[in-house]
Amino acid sequence: MTNTFLKIAIYQMSAAIDAKTYTGRIKAAMHRAKSEGADLLIAPELAMTGYGQGEVLRDLAQPTDGPWVQEFQAFASEIDIGLVAGFPERDGDECYISAMCLHRDGTAPVIYRKSYLYGDYEKSLFQNNSLSTVITEYEGVNLGFLICYDVEFPENVRRLAQAGAEVVIVPTALPKGPDGHHIASRVIPVRAYESQVCVVYANHADADDRFHYQGMSCAYAPDGSALVTADAEGETLIYANIDTAAYQASTERNPYLADLGRMEQA
Where would I find the beta strands (DSSP E) of the chain? Answer: 5-14, 40-42, 82-91, 94-102, 110-113, 135-138, 141-145, 167-171, 198-202, 204-207, 212-214, 218-220, 226-229, 236-243
148 is an active site residue: yes
114 is an active site residue: yes
226 contacts 189 by C-beta, under 8 angstroms: yes
Strands 218-220 and 40-42: unpaired
208's CB contacts (< 8 A; 6+ apart) are 15, 16, 19, 50, 51, 52, 53
Question: Which is catalytic among the residues 45, 89, 122, 152?
Answer: 45
45 is an active site residue: yes
**CA 61 to centroid of chain Cα atoms:** 19
Question: Which is catalytic among the residues 89, 95, 114, 233?
Answer: 114
Question: Which is catalytic among the residues 148, 152, 166, 198?
Answer: 148
Q: Catalytic residue numbers?
A: 45, 114, 148
